[in-house]
């Protein structure tokens, strides 16, 4: 089962190395990891998708790193998740129209056209990206790059429902 954790860290040199080294030496499996600046220049935020059952240990070991400020395991039902990918697909002239129709259904954007390929940019929910890939496989994918997932907890303050974010 995949879990999504949001890790707020101090924006210091080497912090990504510290996090990835900890995952490696403790034998935790990273599915994807993205990192970038936040609204506060002193902090960076990582979205880590992990595989496996050791969530409690992963959260605790993350907290043990001196530069980790906050770790939140995100509940998929109360989280906005996005991913972007670039996918290059075989597109012989005879099938190009059909291919572009299919891409349209997913709001995939054409970003490059070659002699016999088309490259799409697709952004959205990770599951939608996977659906698009399934469809594209029938044409033949020649190249694929994914950004890794970013995620943010929904702002539930406007509703009466209490936030059920599990924080360690």
Partner 1 sequence: MAETLTGAQALIRALEHAEVDVVFGVPGGAILPAYDPILDSPIRHVLARHEQGAGHMASGYAHATGKVGVCVATSGPGATNLITPLQDAYMDSVPVVAITGQVATRAIGMDAFQEAHTWGISMPCTKHNYLVTRVDELPDVIAEAFHLAATGRPGPVLVDIPKDILNATMTWHRPGEIDLPGYKPSVKGHPKQVKAAVEMIHRSQRPVLYAGGGIIKAEASEALRHFAEQANVPVVTTLMARGAIPDSHPLALGMPGMHGNYTAITAMQRSDLLITIGARFDDRVTGDVATFAPDAKVIHVDVDPAEIGKVREANVPIVGDARTVLEQLIETMSSLLDGAEPPEREPWFSQLAAWQEEHPLTYHQDPDGPIQQQYVIEQLHRLTRGDAIVVAGVGQHQMWASQFWGFERPRTWINSGGLGTMGYAVPAAIGAKVGMPDETVFAIDGDGCFQMTSQELITAAIDGIPVKIAVMNNTSLGMVRQWQKLFYGERYSAVDLTDHTPDYVKLAEAMGCVGLRAETPAEVVPTLEKALAINDRPVVVEFKCDPEAMVFPMIPAGGSNDHVVLGPEDLA
Q: Which is nearer to partner 1, 43 or 128 (CB)?
A: 43
**15-26 vs 55-64: helix axis angle to the nearest 10?**
140
Nearer to partner 1 by Cβ, of 60 and 164: the residue is 60
> Which of these ranges, 17-25, 30-38, 119-127, 134-142, lies near partner 1 under the rule CB under 8 A?
17-25
Count of residues that bind partner 1 according to CB under 8 A: 20
Site residues (CB under 8 A) for partner 1, limited to 35-94: 56-57, 60-61, 63-69
Residue 106, interface with partner 1 (CB under 8 A)? no
Say whether residue 13 binds partner 1 (CB under 8 A).
yes
Q: Residue 104 to residues 78, 97, 107, 110, 131: CA-CA distances in angstroms?
A: 28, 11, 5, 10, 13
- DSSP assignment, residue 106? T
How far apart, in whole angstroms, are the C-alpha atoms of residue 97 and residue 93?
8
**Which of 144, 113, 150 shows the shortest CA–CA distance to 130?**
144
* Per CB under 8 A, 31 contacts partner 1: no
């Amino acid at each position: 089962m995949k879990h999504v954790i949001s890790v707020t860290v101090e924006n210091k040199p080497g912090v990504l190395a510290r996090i990835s080294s900890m995952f490696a030496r403790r034998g935790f499996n990273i599915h994807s990891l993205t990192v970038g600046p936040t609204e506060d220049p002193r902090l960076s935020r990582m979205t880590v998708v992990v595989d496996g059952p050791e969530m409690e240990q992963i959260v605790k070991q993350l907290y043990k790193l001196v530069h980790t400020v906050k770790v939140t395991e995100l509940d998929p039902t109360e989280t906005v998740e996005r991913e972007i990918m670039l996918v290059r697909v075989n597109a012989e002239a005879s099938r190009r129209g059909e291919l572009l129709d299919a891409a349209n259904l997913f709001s995939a954007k054409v970003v490059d056209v070659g002699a016999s390929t088309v490259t799409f940019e697709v952004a959205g929910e990770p599951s939608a990206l996977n659906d698009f890939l399934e469809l594209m496989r029938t044409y033949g994918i020649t190249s694929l790059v994914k950004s890794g997932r970013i995620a943010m907890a929904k702002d539930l303050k406007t509703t009466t429902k209490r936030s059920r974010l599990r924080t360690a």
